[in-house]
Structure 1
Amino acid sequence: MSRYSDLRESIGRGSWLPRPDRRTLLIGGGAAVGLAVAWAVWPRAPGLAINAAPGEQILGPYLKIGMDGRVTVLVPQLEMGQGSFTLIAQVVADELGADWRTVAVEPAPLSGIYANDLLLEEDAQMAMPRRLVPEAVSAMGGWRRTMLAADARAMLTGGSTVLRQYEQPAREAAAVARALLQMAAADRWDVSWDECDAADGFVTNRNRKLRFGDLAEAAALLDPPEWPPLRAPGTGALFGESPPRLDLPSKIDGSFSFAGDIRLHDMAYAAIRQGPIGDTRVKRYDRKAPRAVMGYLGAVRHERWIAAVATNSWAAQRALNAMNPRFTTDGQRGDSAVADRRLKAAFAEYDGSRLVDEGSVSDAFAGRPVLTAEFLVAPALHGTMETRTATAAWEDGRVQLWVASQAPGVCRAMVARALGIGEGDVVLFQMPAGGSFDAAFEHDVAVQAAIISRAMKRPIQLVWSRTEDIMRDLPRAPARARLSATLSSGTTIDGWHAAIATPSSRHEWHGRLDGLSPQHAMEEAAGKADAAAINGARPPYLIPNVAIDHLPVNTAIPSGQWRANADSYTAFFTEAFVDELARAAGTDPFGFRIAMLGEQPELARCLQRASEIGGWSGGEAGSGQGLACLSMRGSHIALMAVARPGASGLVVERIVAAADVGRVLNPAIVRQQIESGIVFGLAAAVGATTRYRRGLANARTLRDIGLPNLGQMPAITVELLPSNRAPGGFEEIGVPGVAPAIANALFTVTGQRLRRLPLSVKPIP
């Protein structure tokens, strides 16, 4: 059993480890070196391999200060376009009082010190029915125990946790560093250190000031105060500002390196083919034909895939095509027709688990009219700009690996297991991702590159073709839902029942993290209740009687993690059905929602503001206006869409969003993420899918999956509502509300309820 499994079991048992305190500091120094400090978790960071530049001293896991005054922030989150490099650096710079022009970032090394305990806690609550979660997990400080028990495999990026998880430890690290710098300056000036301050890269006292770099050596020799003070949240000079993103200049000039940009001496290039979805193995291939391809170096055959290696990527792909590999599949191949039948059959068999049970739905439904609607969503592909890529170099029983991973510790462990070597013999360089949307939780490409490099005895770069990326993508799971509700005499919802048939995708993910193949992880997860599969299905409204059932379905198509995951379809079910209920009650959909948000003032405020900005006219016939709202990961959002059928199909003219995401550190990045989420949600509303037949995806290119083009982009307006709450997640919240808002808007024009994703309307003749 893997360490990750042990960790999850310890969560369930409520195991306890001592909580660290502020005395546990990693500090130190020496002559002619800089200062690196951090408020560290217990135990001390063994083998923390942070690279030291000249003039730097590595002493802790989060922060380095060089003698030249440069502040280097170690970022434990994969940069995949969400701005983690800038956000965490901005937290540190603000608390420290650094000059933004002197701030740099580095990916943090693999270590359990950076464990994403918040994601682990939330995962523990969703991997099983919430009502079965032990009290120890939900108790205050329970997440801290998780972090202390974790190793590098718990260093995870996901769940909109960049600030929710890492703001506090980054601030504490910076507060310790600031206190030490102030103490060093105070010794020179013969004043009390708490009479000093730090701003713009200087420690100041009245009209005196000293550069951070000039104080680093002396500060490293001091003992920090017992309780280094933190600045009041939101009071730093950079808070609420949008300084230039640290990753943008290099992205603009092309110097920002991804895994596919790595170039090594004597490096070769590989192309790969893996066959149909299912329990598939290589049957045969043509060994002679690829020899005619100039630059062809050889083939590497694995039980489940075949790779061609050449001196350039084009030759590798041509050689692979010449091989004409054939595969054999045992048992069922992934097939959309089979998946559709199984999702539908789940309601006839109704072998599921009730994961939400509030009040008495049966009493609420007894003797009263019950409205029912069924919804269906297709699998959703990731469609990242960068296909999966890894560069590997095997030498003397060790492998170096350049790859983008949302779980780098798990990636390292999988590569070590596949090669039969120790994890210490796998050196992983965390590269940024050209988009991920949770696709970088999968590590097949890293394992394959390492195996090919060892077989060829030279560095190898493996880049999946776009076709391979689509064919072997693990999509967001398909789902089918049956929703029923009854209205009270006051035109509000009195009873609500949702039954959702969908795979147990979170259990599948756990299985893959434990080293199972996608096929075997899917088979292991079959029939298991999964709270993550129905996450977001409990409406945000005040409804006295609510029941939500999960009907686990083995669709024969392995499913993966995806941006917003289950919320992306449960919000569609909920908000489209609420709109239907409002019409049935003869009420304005806006007023119908507001009347049930008395206990959700933040969400009500978002809904009110979105309707004001968008010019809500009551959702009258022909208006083309639709609403949707939801809460997710500690944040709230409401959207208004303006849409209509056009000559070539669906036309979305405008989307307005009002969001409350708590304190906003960097408004530009938050808006960018919500806007990108809206675009991502629009893509999933109109496409981003494929049908599967006999284990093969029908789509081969991005053009085949129905993504909207630039000319089809609506005008997007995002307003961030002021708030003093702790930061919520904003990286995914823009996604789920788009599809229901558009569907509700189209109803006002066509009179037709669209209950399938992707949405489809008949073009205007």
Structure 2
Amino acid sequence: MSEPTVSSSLSRRGFLKASMTAGGALTLGFTIPSISSAQDQQESWQANAWLEVDKDNQLTLIIDRVEMGQGTMTGLTTLVAEELSTSPDAILTRFAPAAKEYRNPLFNMQMTGGSTSLAVAWTHLREAAAAMGWLLTSSAADIWQVPHRECALSQGHVVHPAHGKLPWSQLIGVAQHKKLPSDIPLKPAGEFRYIGKRNQRTDAAPKSFGQADYGIDTKLPGMVHAVVIHSTYIGGTLKSYSADKAKNSAGVIDVFPIAQGIAVVAEKYWQARKAALLVEAQWEPGETGETSSEDIFNHYRQLLDEDDAKVIQREGYPNRVRKNASQLITAEYQVPFLAHATLEPQNCVAHVTDKGVEIWAPTQAPDLAQVAASRVTDFSPSDVTVHTTFLGGGFGRRLIQDFVEEAAAIAHRVKRPVKLLWSREDDTRNDHFRPAAMHRMTGSIDGNGYPELWHHSIACPTLMDWIVKDAAPAMFAGMPKWTFGTLANVGLAAQGTLAPDDHSPWEGADTISYALPNLMLDYTKAENTIPVTYWRSVGNSHTSFAVESFIDELAHAANTSPLTFRQNLLTDAPRAKKVLNIAAEKAGWGKAPAGRYQGIAFFFSFNTWVAQVAEVSVSGTTIKVEKVTCVVDCGTVVNPEIVKAQMEGGIIFGLTAALYGEITVNNGQVQQSNFHDYPLLRMNEIPDIDVHIIDSEEPPTGVGEPGLPPIAPAVANAVFAATGQRLRTLPLKLSA
């Protein structure tokens, strides 16, 4: 590549004058044309990473995604460090404010989710860092009066063989006046020093020494504490209440109703919590009425019996093959509602003044938090300042802003900073859950042992119904508050045209890697009054169970090894087949120790291929997962240990759901409340997990969620190998 030609007549004296009078920082927020829309390139650049060098030579990266344990902060810092040839340890980070510049271009909202943070930033953040590096080296070349190509970046300096080095801070005054060329190269992979090698987490030290501020840690002068008493019914409304005893309790400031329940405000948290026990409240059932889990699944089954499904995917002639098949193999798979169980319960600090609203919250979507706070105060979203903190787990739960809305409503009344903190019981019973779903599978095998029919029908709710009230106004920022309801309605009505289609119910089922000649995928929406939202791996968390369990059933019907059966269907999917083969090899497929049995599963989600072999033992009706071998192809690996940790975390999260996870409803009420009846996998139950990462030069893809989908079917398939029982309902329970 030829060297860019940039004219400059700046003398060394002029450089020194510019540097000294600049006085502030060099802040770059680059518009990267490669992801801009054709209509308005500059306006549509949303995933903008802002880099700042101050007069003390400190480089700061403003993180435009939240850090909830998935390693985003480390990954993004590594990308910048690589292009600027500086140690990641030398880069300070801070979370971005709610602003249009920081939107995720895949969602048109400032949202962290979908395992997209590193994938979206891979090219554009490196381009931003490379652009800053070019400005700095070009400025130094002007000062030294040397060719640009002779200058290099090194640990916060521009260096030259003959002239020594200059700190970036001394180049600020010159660099901020330069114009960027259009052809700045990125560092080639062969020169990577940090990408693929950097394993130390940027947030390890502050978290280890208690320096990382989570939402629950927020403290403000004059702050009071609040709890909310929620309805005992899902979506229930307040009929009447008596708060005389509570108001007379020590430290209590006020007790009053809000849209979501009854707020109790006190000087200290436990004063508010104890006073809440003294409030006598009567509740009216909501739209859910006296619904039970049994009612819900009976409704799903009825929907699947009706011939009114939306066809999502059709290949070949499935209807003809089905009619002429000599034998049909059918199975029905059922998965329950699931809670998120984030270890940091929902919390928010809100302060409403006559100038606006300030929010401190562990939210996955700061601009949605703006909308939520605006809705219950006298201010527009632009008057709401959101301070994003570290998150003690997200998993999609913190995309819903109910806790922010509650805190803002309370603060609007008491006119003091308010910290709202949910109890574990609040969090479990008032979650927005992973939807329950039912899958009906129909297949047939031809005379050569290959599947000739694959018909997959799904009934479950959609997620858009529950997030759109905040998402639509956030996407169309600047619209007056009175349009919020209309925007939400338009968003729902225009799915697939003006708004994205909600494909979460069939997510993963429409991208299976197997070669299936006659395929039908259809979906029936189940109207739902139980709050639902995104959950780690979203629709893949249940479609994978149905797909990979049924593939195993077809293999059994074909009298073929589950591994061989899958291999035969992956002839046109080399990356998928490689992942599957290596998983089988590393697990010692077919060579399990005595008393242990193996099951295999493979799934493609978030543009990442993952195969897992589960090794289980069974004692009576107790299933014990002894070992999991996991192989992942996620493109170029930026931080290997983070990839490994995310696979391990996804497997453990998925095992909790596979073995224990179940939210049940009776009489319109959630039956679970805490970890005694909604248990998580314990340390002594965690299997040996062996993770292998495929070397790749492809762009990086998601890692936060793809480790979860294969684990439940892998375990279920292993249990079948051990017992002959085909478990088609989660959580997995053996009959005596």
Given the two structures, how large is their TM-score scaled by the length of structure 1?
A: 0.86
Structure 2 residues without counterparts, runs of 5 or longer: 1-5, 7-17, 474-483
Give secondary structure in 1 for the equivalent of 2:129. helix
- Output aligned runs, 1:625-636, within 5 Å: 625-636=598-609
Q: Does 1:670 align with 2:643?
A: yes
Aligned with 2:538 (options 565, 576, 579): 565
Q: Could you say what the CA RMSD is over the residues aligned between the two structures, in angstroms?
A: 2.6
Q: What letter is aligned with 2:281?
A: P
- Matched residues in 2 for 1:262 and 1:718: separation? 37
- Matched residues in 2 for 1:279 and 1:623: separation? 46
Aligned to 1:641: 614
Give secondary structure in 2 for the equivalent of 1:350. coil
Query: CA offset at residue 159 of structure 1?
Result: 0.7
- Matched residues in 2 for 1:158 and 1:644: separation? 35
Query: CA offset at residue 233 of structure 1?
Result: 4.3
Aligned to 2:734: 761
Aligned with 1:499 (options 457, 480, 496): 457
- Matched residues in 1 for 2:571 and 2:595: separation? 30
Q: Does 1:461 align with 2:419?
A: yes
Q: Does 1:546 align with 2:503?
A: no
CA contact (8 A) 1:71 1:98 kept: no
Q: Does 1:174 align with 2:129?
A: yes
Q: Which moves more between the two structures, 466-475 or 506-515?
A: 506-515
Alpha-carbon deviations, 1:8-49, whole Å to 9, x = none? xxxxxxxxxxxxxxx9xxxx9852333222322588999x9x
- Matched residues in 2 for 1:457 and 1:508: separation? 29
How many residue pairs get aligned? The number is 689
- Matched residues in 2 for 1:377 and 1:349: separation? 20
CA contact (8 A) 1:623 1:748 kept: no
Aligned to 1:341: 298
Alpha-carbon deviations, 1:128-169, whole Å to 9, x = none? xxxxxxxxxxxxxxxxxxxxxx5xxx1111111011112222
In 2 relative to 1, CA 350–527 (structure 1 residues): closer, same or farther, beyond 3 Å? farther
Aligned to 1:272: 228
Q: Does 1:360 align with 2:360?
A: no
Q: What letter is aligned with 1:725?
A: E
CA contact (8 A) 2:368 2:470 kept: no
- Matched residues in 2 for 1:418 and 1:235: separation? 53
Q: Does 1:36 align with 2:8?
A: no
Q: What letter is aligned with 2:395?
A: F
Q: Which moves more between the two structures, 167-176 or 525-534?
A: 525-534
Aligned to 1:125: none
- Matched residues in 1 for 2:493 and 2:666: separation? 23
Q: Does 1:738 align with 2:711?
A: yes
Give secondary structure in 2 for the equivalent of 1:158. coil
Query: CA offset at residue 477 of structure 1?
Result: 0.5
Q: Does 1:288 align with 2:244?
A: yes
CA contact (8 A) 1:335 1:556 kept: no
Q: Which moves more between the two structures, 731-740 or 358-367?
A: 358-367
CA contact (8 A) 1:508 1:525 kept: no
Q: What letter is aligned with 1:461?
A: K
CA contact (8 A) 1:381 1:470 kept: yes
Aligned to 2:105: 117
Q: Which moves more between the two structures, 502-511 or 99-108?
A: 502-511
- Matched residues in 1 for 2:414 and 2:380: separation? 21
- Matched residues in 2 for 1:503 and 1:618: separation? 42
- Matched residues in 2 for 1:330 and 1:110: separation? 34
Give secondary structure in 2 for the equivalent of 1:117. coil
- Matched residues in 1 for 2:557 and 2:242: separation? 64
Query: CA offset at residue 340 of structure 1?
Result: 1.6
- Output aligned runs, 1:382-531, within 5 Å: 382-511=340-469, 513-514=471-472, 530-531=502-503
In 2 relative to 1, CA 45–265 (structure 1 residues): closer, same or farther, beyond 3 Å? farther
Q: Does 1:76 align with 2:67?
A: no
Aligned to 2:477: none
Query: CA offset at residue 628 of structure 1?
Result: 0.2
Q: Does 1:592 align with 2:565?
A: yes
Give secondary structure in 1 for the equivalent of 2:239. strand
Query: CA offset at residue 111 of structure 1?
Result: 1.9
Query: CA offset at residue 621 of structure 1?
Result: 11
In 2 relative to 1, CA 346–511 (structure 1 residues): closer, same or farther, beyond 3 Å? farther
Alpha-carbon deviations, 1:407-444, whole Å to 9, x = none? 21121022112213122321111112100100011111
In 2 relative to 1, CA 99–242 (structure 1 residues): closer, same or farther, beyond 3 Å? closer
Structure 1 residues without counterparts, runs of 5 or longer: 1-22, 49-59, 121-149
CA contact (8 A) 2:309 2:524 kept: yes
Q: Which moves more between the two structures, 232-241 or 264-273?
A: 232-241
Query: CA offset at residue 606 of structure 1?
Result: 0.8
Aligned to 1:194: 149
Query: CA offset at residue 721 of structure 1?
Result: 0.7
Q: What letter is aligned with 1:72?
A: T
Q: Which moves more between the two structures, 443-452 or 240-249?
A: 240-249
In 2 relative to 1, CA 226–347 (structure 1 residues): closer, same or farther, beyond 3 Å? closer
In 2 relative to 1, CA 524–341 (structure 1 residues): closer, same or farther, beyond 3 Å? farther
Give secondary structure in 2 for the equivalent of 1:477. coil
- Output aligned runs, 1:647-686, within 5 Å: 649-686=622-659
Query: CA offset at residue 324 of structure 1?
Result: 2.6
Aligned to 1:702: 675
Query: CA offset at residue 406 of structure 1?
Result: 1.8
Give secondary structure in 1 for the equivalent of 2:271. helix
Query: CA offset at residue 192 of structure 1?
Result: 1.2
In 2 relative to 1, CA 754–527 (structure 1 residues): closer, same or farther, beyond 3 Å? farther
- Matched residues in 2 for 1:555 and 1:239: separation? 45
CA contact (8 A) 2:67 2:73 kept: yes
Aligned to 2:597: 624
Q: Does 1:104 align with 2:129?
A: no
- Matched residues in 2 for 1:234 and 1:476: separation? 43
- Matched residues in 1 for 2:352 and 2:254: separation? 17
Aligned with 1:216 (options 144, 167, 172): 172
Query: CA offset at residue 244 of structure 1?
Result: 2.3
Q: Does 1:91 align with 2:79?
A: yes
- Matched residues in 1 for 2:278 and 2:522: separation? 50
Q: What letter is aligned with 1:31?
A: A
CA contact (8 A) 1:590 1:618 kept: no
In 2 relative to 1, CA 243–581 (structure 1 residues): closer, same or farther, beyond 3 Å? closer
CA contact (8 A) 1:37 1:177 kept: yes
Q: Does 1:537 align with 2:509?
A: yes
Aligned to 1:158: 113
- Matched residues in 1 for 2:303 and 2:433: separation? 20
In 2 relative to 1, CA 489–196 (structure 1 residues): closer, same or farther, beyond 3 Å? farther
Query: CA offset at residue 451 of structure 1?
Result: 1.1
Q: Does 1:323 align with 2:279?
A: yes
Give secondary structure in 2 for the equivalent of 1:180. helix
Query: CA offset at residue 363 of structure 1?
Result: 2.3
In 2 relative to 1, CA 658–467 (structure 1 residues): closer, same or farther, beyond 3 Å? same
CA contact (8 A) 1:619 1:626 kept: no
Query: CA offset at residue 623 of structure 1?
Result: 4.6
Q: What letter is aligned with 1:252?
A: S
Aligned to 2:265: 309
Aligned to 1:238: 194
Aligned to 1:300: 256
Q: What letter is aligned with 2:570?
A: L
- Matched residues in 1 for 2:530 and 2:375: separation? 25
Aligned with 1:374 (options 322, 327, 332): 332
Q: Does 1:185 align with 2:140?
A: yes
Q: Which moves more between the two structures, 507-516 or 100-109?
A: 507-516
CA contact (8 A) 1:270 1:307 kept: yes
Give secondary structure in 2 for the equivalent of 1:703. coil
Aligned to 1:747: 720
Alpha-carbon deviations, 1:31-75, whole Å to 9, x = none? 2333222322588999x9xxxxxxxxxxx9510112332211111
